[in-house]
Amino acid sequence: MKSLLASTALVCIAAPALALDCEGLTPEALGLSEVTFTEVAAVPAGEDSRAPQCRIRARTAERVGADGKDYALSFELALPDDWNGDFVHQFNGGNDGEVKPATGALKAGTGDSSPLAQGYAVVSSDAGHDGTANPDMGLAGGAAFGFDFEARQMYGYKAVEILQPLARKMVEAYYEKPVEHAYGIGCSNGGRHAMVAAARMPGAFDGLLVAAPGFNLPRAAVQHALDVQALTPITGDLRTSFSKEDLALVAQGIRASCDALDGLEDGLVMDTAACQSAFDLTALQCAEGQNSDCLSGAQVSALQTIHAGPKGAEGQQLYSDWSWDTGIEGGNWRFWKVESTVPPWEKMPIIGVMGAASLAQVFSVPPTEVEGAPQALADFLMQFDIAAQAGAIDATSETFPESAMDVMSPPGADDPELAAFRDAGGKIIVTHGVADPVFSVNDTARWYAALDANNGDNAEAFARFYPVPGMNHCSGGPGTDAFDLLTPLVAWVEEDIAPGAVTASARADNAELPEALQGASRPLCPAPTVARYQGGNPKSANSFSCE
C-alpha cells in the first residue's frame, strides 16, 4: 500500500496536473482549496474495497462550533482503477458521525455487487460531525452535535450541498474527464438525505435510489416516545413487553387473515392494503381462562396504540399510522422497538438509546441534555409528554432559527411536486419495507400518492415506489429482500427505459423466512400495483403479475 499523510490544509488553488497518479496525490493537484488530505492510498482489490482504487480520506469545512468544539466535514472518496465514468454519493444512516467505507452498497437494493465494484467513483461522509467526540456523555454522545446549530444544518442538508460539487470536482480532476452521470444512494437517514437532495439540489443528481426514507425523522422520533410509553407498562420493562413468541403469534394471525388475498397461501402477504381491513388483532386476545397462544389485553391495546401513531393535544396525527405486516416477527423489528442484543445498551432497543438521545438533543428546540445510561435514556422517552412537548420539533429560537423539521425534512415534503428535479430530467426510485419498525411505509406511501396527484397522476414518469412486503428496516424480516433497483435506475437515467416489476429473491441465510419461501423469488411491484399469483411454480416470480 502506498500512502501519503498531509497535516495542513492547502488554501491556494492550482490547476489540475496531467496524468494524475494516486501516489503523492495532493489537494493542489486536484485544484482544491480548504481541503485537508488525511490519507491517500492505492488500495488493492479485496482490502475492504471490493475493487482496486485510489482512496482519499480528507476533511473540509473545518470550524469551531458555538459549543466550543471542533467540527469538520470528513469524507472518503474511492476512485476505482477501472472507472465507468459515473459517480455515486453514498448517503449514510443513523446520526451519521462516522465515515462509512465508500462502496455505495445498500443492504437491500443494490444487488450482489457494490457500485464501487461496478466501476463507480463513490464518496461517503460523516455529515459534518464526529460521533465519537463526546465519550463523556455515554450513549448520548453521538447526538451531542445537536447543541450546535450549524452542525444540525450540516447533518440536515448542508453536508451534501458542500460535498457533492467538491467530490465531483475531485473525480473529474483525477480522471481528467467529466462525470457522465451522478447518482445518490441511501437508506434510512441516508434515504432522507436523498429526498432532501431532490428538493434542495434538483440538478445535482441524475438518479436517486431512496430506501426506507426517514424524511419526517423528527416526527418519527416522537413515535419512539409513544412506543416506549405504550410497551413498557405491559410488564414494567420495555424489554420483556413482548416475547419472540408473542410477535410470532401476531405474524401468524396476519397470515391467517391475509395470506390468500394475493391468490397464494405461501407465508407472504403481498396485498398490504387489503390486509389492513382483513386483520383483526383483537381475535388474538386471550379469552377468559386462556393463558397461552394468545395476547393479553394490555398487549393488544399497546399494539393498537403504536400502530395508530402519536396524537397531539387535539387528537391530530403527529407522525403516521403503520401497516400490519408479518415482518412484525422479524428480529430487526424487535431490535428497534423492544429488545436489542447489545450488552452495553443493557439490551435496550435502538429507539430507547439512539432514538431518545436524538429526540432530546437534535430534534428539539431548545435541546435537552440527557444522561447517557441506557435506562436513563429510556426513562426520558417514558416521561416525554407527547401532547405538550412534541411542538419542540417545530419550534425555533434565536440560537436555532430553523426548526428541526425545517432542517431535516425536504422542503415541500407534505405536499411534494419535485417540479425542478423532474424538469431537470432526474429520476427517483423509492423502496420501503412494509414492516419497517422505524419509519412507517404508510408515510412514504402518502408522500408518493401526493407526488402523483401533484404531477397530474403521472409521477411514474420520473418516480417509482416499491413497497417490500415482510421486510424490516433497510433489510431483513420474513420477506424476499434481495433485489437490485440500481440497475433499473441506471437504465432509466441512461437509456430512458422505465422500470417495471423487479425480481426479489429470498436470501439463503434468511432464517426468518417461512419454509415455503426458502429459495423463492417474487416480483417487487411499483405502487399501487400488487403481485398476484397467476398459477405455475409457487416459488417463481414468473408465476405472479403486478396488477
- Rg (C-alpha) for the chain, rounded Å, is 23
Active site residue 436: yes
In whole angstroms, give the CA distance from residue 82 to residue 121.
Answer: 10
Residue of 436, 452, 481, 484 with catalytic role: 436
- How far apart, in whole angstroms, are the C-alpha atoms of residue 393 and residue 139? 21
For the record, the C-alpha cell of 3 comes out as 500512502
Query: Is residue 473 annotated as a catalytic residue, yes or no?
Result: yes
Residue with cell 409528554: 385
Let me know if 188 is a catalytic residue: yes
CB contact at 8 A, 501 and 521 = no
Residues composing the chain: 547
| Rounded distance between C-alpha atoms, residue 58 and residue 298, angstroms | 52
Task: Calculate helix-pair angle for 354-361, 374-383, nearest 10 degrees.
Answer: 60
Supply 474's cell numbers.
433497510
Q: How many CA atoms lie within 13 A of 383 on its CB side?
A: 8
Nearest to 102 by CA among 23, 41, 156: 41
Return the C-alpha torsion angle 77, 78, 83, 85, nearest 10.
-30
453 in helix, strand or coil? helix
The beta-strand segments (E) located in 170-243 are: 181-187, 207-211
SS3 86: strand
CA distance 251 to 208: 33
Residue given cell 416477527 in the structure block: 329
Give the active site residue among 124, 188, 320, 358.
188
Q: How many C-beta atoms lie closer than 10 Å to residue 132's C-beta?
A: 11
Could you tell me if 484 and 109 are in contact, meaning their C-beta atoms sit under 8 angstroms apart? yes
Contact 240, 293 (CB under 8 A): no
Catalytic residue among 473, 475, 484, 543: 473
Q: How far is CA 5 from CA 21, 29, 36, 225, in A?
A: 16, 15, 9, 45
- Known catalytic residues are 188, 436, 473
